[in-house]
Amino acid sequence: MTIPSNPSAQPQPGIQPGPSEAALAATPDVAAATGGARVASGIAAAKPPSREEVLKVENLTVGFPTDDGLVKAVRGVSYTVHEREVLGIVGESGSGKSVSSMAIMGLLPKNARISGTIRYRGEDILKMSKKAQRSLRGRRIGMIFQDPMTALNPVYTIGDQLAEAVLSHETVSRKQALARAEEMLALVGIPQPKQRLRAYPHEFSGGMRQRAMIAMAVINNPDVIIADEPTTALDVTVQAQILETLLDVKDQVNSAIILITHDLGVVAGTVHRVLVMYAGRPVELGETDEVFYRPRMPYTAGLLGSIPALDTASGEKLRPIKGTPPSLITLPPGCPFAPRCPLVTDICDDEEPELASTDGLEHWAACHHWTRLAEAEDPTKFFRAESEVRR
């Protein structure tokens, strides 16, 4: 499936006007509730995306054979990333976010069954030789891993590891590689970068280790940076600093970013477009404001409704999504979200909806009943009553 995307921030014909004051009041202020508001000005001030296509994923499918059957970890993921664009990928654990990024990097185990296409500037990565993939990985496509303590080698200094990233792809002297490593540490805001090159990972704080991982990812000026939950283990203050650093670095090296996270506050303040995943496949895709203020998939509305807001009335309970995600080995025949959805009908049990355009040209959703969400002033209220959710 090919999904068109619009990297321009200009309004497009056919897209409804911005949310009303009532809708804004009804929708949870996700950024403010989670600290994402600290970086909201960052994405607005960053360089806008261009129309140049850097990475295009089409109908990506990944499965892992097990004794119990084939685990369908990724099912038909498609998206396009443009130069300087920040794309956020959101979903629960096990939704396929990290597996799809590992497929792009060529880091999946040998038993993984991969199909579809992953095109970097028009060339299919999956058809490249292993040598060509290694040349691309770390040079044209960089990655910031989820846990910097385990991603960094504890027996080598920070300078040695950053220099290795340069020496693996370029014929330069070690002195030149260390000089670039020093520049990168300064770029990501680490004080006294020359002295810090001689430090070991355990001598860095969690935030500093994450900055070092960002420096390693961008040291070769990649076209795409994949950030896999870069702020998971950090407090809100450090999280905001890391995200601001990531956006600043993006403009410095002119890179696009794929930001993988489960934190909607991070998404609210740092991305141009949002891709929501559930049970291994995309269920909603659109510009950030469109998805947050006008969700067209009940799962997205449920995620928004389950976030605590600062203005929540005393004693008012959160509205969680009941139930658990389905097994990726034995998926139900219809919509995988049907057992947890308050809008479920017979067609949801029989037919899995395709990701299709809704009321906005660049807003896509996989739901038979997206029009019911469109008619609701506050779509998150569908999850308020437990009696509405079928067990």
How far apart are the C-alpha atoms of 218 and 214, rounded to whole Å? 6
Q: Which band of pLDDT confidence, cut at 50, 70 and 90, is reported for residue 313?
A: low
- State which of 221, 252, 275 marks the end of a domain: 221
State the chain's maximal CA–CA distance in angstroms.
67
- Domain shared by 180 and 294, yes or no: no
- State which of 176, 198, 221 marks the end of a domain: 221
Is residue 11 situated within a structural domain? yes
Mean pLDDT on 64-79: 95
How far apart are the C-alpha atoms of 308 and 265, rounded to whole Å? 11
Per-residue pLDDT tens over the stretch 112-126: 999 999 999 999 999
Per-residue pLDDT tens over the stretch 164-182: 999 999 999 999 999 999 9
Is residue 185 situated within a structural domain? yes
Is residue 384 situated within a structural domain? no
- Domain shared by 94 and 125, yes or no: yes
Is residue 385 situated within a structural domain? no
Mean pLDDT on 291-299: 93
Mean of pLDDT over the chain: 84
**Domain count of the chain?**
2
- Domain shared by 228 and 97, yes or no: yes
Whether residue 337 contacts residue 320, with contact meaning beta carbons closer than 8 Å, is answered with no
* pLDDT higher at 163 or 93: 163
Is residue 348 situated within a structural domain? no
Q: Which band of pLDDT confidence, cut at 50, 70 and 90, is reported for residue 254?
A: confident
- Domain shared by 154 and 134, yes or no: no
Whether residue 183 contacts residue 216, with contact meaning beta carbons closer than 8 Å, is answered with no
Is residue 389 situated within a structural domain? no
- Domain shared by 283 and 134, yes or no: yes
- Domain shared by 122 and 24, yes or no: yes
- State which of 190, 205, 221 marks the end of a domain: 221
Structural domain containing residue 198: 150-221
- Domain shared by 107 and 25, yes or no: yes
Residues in contact with 363: Cβ distance below 8 Å, sequence separation at least 6, in sequence order: 15, 285, 286, 287, 290, 291, 294, 296, 357
Is residue 156 situated within a structural domain? yes
Q: In Å, what is the CA distance from 101 to each residue of 12, 78, 198?
A: 30, 12, 31
Residue 7 confidence (pLDDT) above 60: no
- Domain shared by 254 and 369, yes or no: yes
The CATH number of whichever domain residue 262 belongs to comes to 3.40.50.300
- Domain shared by 86 and 132, yes or no: yes
How far apart are the C-alpha atoms of 169 and 353, rounded to whole Å? 44
- Domain shared by 173 and 294, yes or no: no
Query: What per-residue confidence (pLDDT) applies to 25?
Result: 43
- Residue bearing tokens 């200009």: 10
Q: In Å, what is the CA distance from 235 to each residue of 104, 205, 242, 267?
A: 29, 12, 10, 16
Residue 206 confidence (pLDDT) above 50: yes
Is residue 94 situated within a structural domain? yes
Mean pLDDT on 66-95: 93
10 Å CB burial of residue 280 (0-12, 13-18, 19+) is buried
Residues in contact with 201: Cβ distance below 8 Å, sequence separation at least 6, in sequence order: 148, 149, 152, 153, 154, 158, 209, 212
DSSP per-residue string spanning 145-182: -S-HHHHS-TTS-HHHHHHHHHHTTS---HHHHHHHHH
How far apart are the C-alpha atoms of 28 and 305, rounded to whole Å? 7
Whether residue 265 contacts residue 304, with contact meaning beta carbons closer than 8 Å, is answered with no
- Domain shared by 125 and 2, yes or no: yes
- Domain shared by 217 and 229, yes or no: no
- Which of 167-171, 198-202, 320-324 shows the lowest per-residue confidence on average (mean pLDDT)? 320-324
